[in-house]
Amino acid sequence: MEAKAVPSVTFRDGRQMPLLGLGTFMASSEVVGQAVDAALETGYRHIDTAYLYGNEAAIGQTLKKWLDYGRLKREELFVVTKLPNTGNRAESVEKYMKKSLEALQLSYVDLYLVHSAVGYLEKENSSPFNRELDMSTDHISLWKAMEAQVDAGRARSIGLSNFNARQVKRIVQAARIPPANLQVELNVYFQQRELVAFCKALDVTVCAYAPLGSPAFPEFLSMFGNSLSDTPILSPLSDPVVAGVAEKHGRTPAQVLLRHVVQRGVVAIPKSSNPERIRENFQYVTSSRVPVQRPLLSRTMAYARKKARSSSVQLYSLLIIKQLYTIINKFY
Ligand SMILES: NC(=O)c1ccc[n+]([C@@H]2O[C@H](COP(=O)([O-])OP(=O)(O)OC[C@H]3O[C@@H](n4cnc5c(N)ncnc54)[C@H](OP(=O)(O)O)[C@@H]3O)[C@@H](O)[C@H]2O)c1
């Protein structure tokens, strides 16, 4: 099948990663297949999942259908999955990699990421969200086991997620196969300019998660009886500056937010389970219309700071640590 042209970023080894992918966190197994179908029909070729999302098998079924019917060739797809925190030690990597490949029904993934810098103890029959810290986590030996996945042909490229600049640099310096990509929270309210520049200097590409500000995340937390009353929640999708830019360009706020990320050469992986929004999120990124005005959007951050009376507007970076694991741990 002829794919629409999606711009890409290029890894140091020459491999390419499409600048736009479909995020699938909080997309249950019941709905994710339909979302992946809609995305592939639209022209997305990059799908982002993780062992922790619990939806790899459903995604795998849909991908298999496309591959078996000859609608896509494997090399046209870019599939990303992630090692869970409970696998953050050298001897666990191969096991989790194989589990993900089995669920996805693939012989390799295009990019395998260490989901988090923080490791958790792995206990028999325990939840993957078990949050007992593993104080013996060693990033260097863990990375060697990640490199072995490339050697074994299970991952074309390897990378990191939720690692800070110092941690990334340490791995780059010790690596035989350096990380190709760093996936972090990044959106117009949390632009990560220093980190992006730092990664660029190290030849590590960056992927933005929560590029729309993750509007469903507070609802996700409240499902488990938690509220965000002590944390300023701002919505880039309803920001008046973003709305103004959208109106000016005849686009939607989501399109403006995504364009603002990808025009910096940062990959964006907006999640949607809604076929119309999946199409909406794809259009502006592949269009050749005039890009979103940078100065206008840069002001948005100042606006956000003022409104929140704090620079801590990043949802995940605060809350994953503070709340998410506590809640999920209760749930499992
Ligand atoms: N590495 C990590 O630790 C990490 C952490 C978080 C996320 N991620 C990855 O990054 C992806 C994106 O992050 P995210 O899902 O948290 O947040 P997001 O992509 O910023 O926001 C997704 C939310 O926005 C809604 N939405 C999507 N398109 C829209 C549009 N055009 N207009 C209005 N609302 C729209 C979606 O609802 P509908 O589904 O109803 O459209 C969904 O609730 C995840 O799915 C996951 O793959 C990685």
DSSP string, 200-234: HHTT-EEEEESTT--TTHHHHHHTTT---TTS---
105 three-class SS: coil
Predicted confidence at residue 123, as pLDDT, reads 81
| Whether this model's pTM surpasses 0.85 | yes
- Of all protein residues, the one whose alpha carbon is nearest to atom 10 of ligand 1 is 209
Residue-wise pLDDT for 5-16, tens only, equals 789 999 999 999
Residue 23 is assigned to a structural domain of this protein: yes
The finding on whether 214 has its CB within 6 A of some atom of ligand 1 is yes
C-alpha angle 271-208-78 in degrees, rounded to nearest 5: 70
pLDDT value of residue 111: 98
**How high is the pLDDT of residue 268?**
98
What's the pLDDT at 310?
A: 38
For the Cβ of 255 lying below 6 angstroms from any atom of ligand 1, the answer is no
Which residues, at least 6 apart from 164, have a Cβ–Cβ distance to it below 8 Å? 117, 195
Phi-psi region of 51 (alpha: psi -120 to 50; beta: other; left: phi over 0): alpha
Q: DSSP 3-state assignment of 184?
A: strand
CA atoms of 325 and 303, how far apart (whole Å): 30
Mutate to test the pocket of ligand 1, among 83, 186, 271 (most ligand atoms within 8 A of CB): 271
Closest CA to 217 of 140, 318, 117, 83: 318
Predicted pLDDT of residue 35: 98
Locate the ligand 1 atom nearest the alpha carbon of residue 184 and give its number. 1
Q: How far apart are CA 83 and CA 116, in angstroms?
A: 8
DSSP category for residue 282: H
Residue 138, domain CATH = 3.20.20.100
Within a domain: 297: no
Q: Which has the closest alpha carbon to 304: 221, 218, 213?
A: 213
Indicate which residues carry an active-site annotation: 53
The pLDDT assigned to 157 comes to 98
Query: 193-201 and 165-174 helices cross at what angle (nearest 10)?
Result: 10
Q: What is the pLDDT of residue 222?
A: 75
Distance (Å) from CA 77 to ligand 1 centroid:
20
Give pLDDT, residue 168: 98
- Its sign, for the CA torsion 220, 224, 229, 231, is negative
Return the sign of the alpha-carbon dihedral for residues 193, 195, 201, 204: negative
First to last CA, the chain: 41
DSSP state of 47: E
Count of domains in the chain?
1
Render pLDDT for 143-162 as a digit per residue (tens, 0 to 9).
999 999 999 999 999 999 99
270 lines ligand 1 (CB under 6 A): yes
CA–centroid distance, residue 44 to ligand 1 (Å): 15
Does some domain include residue 205? yes
- Our answer on whether the CB atom of 211 is closer than 6 Å to any ligand 1 atom is yes
Task: For residue 278, tell me if it sits in a domain.
Answer: yes
Query: In Å, how far are 77, 231, 320, 322 from 309, measured between CA atoms?
Result: 43, 11, 21, 20
DSSP classification of residue 239 = -
Residue 318 lies in a domain: no
pLDDT under 70: residue ranges of the chain: 1-4, 125-130, 224-232, 288-332
Pocket lining: 215 vs ligand 1, CB cutoff 6 Å: yes
Mutate to test the pocket of ligand 1, among 168, 209, 316 (most ligand atoms within 8 A of CB): 209
- Which atom of ligand 1 is nearest to 212's Cα? 20
The answer to whether residue 247 sits within a structural domain is no
Query: 19 lies in a domain?
Result: yes
Residue with tokens 């973003």: 242
- Structural domain including 16 reads 8-216+264-291
Q: Tell me, yes or no, whether 38 lies in a domain.
A: yes
pLDDT at residue 5, as a whole number = 72
Instruction: Answer whether 213 contacts ligand 1 (Cβ < 6 A).
Output: yes
Buried b (16+ CB within 10 A) or exposed e, 35-58: bbbbbbebbbbbbbbbbbbebbeb
- The SS3 call for residue 183 is strand
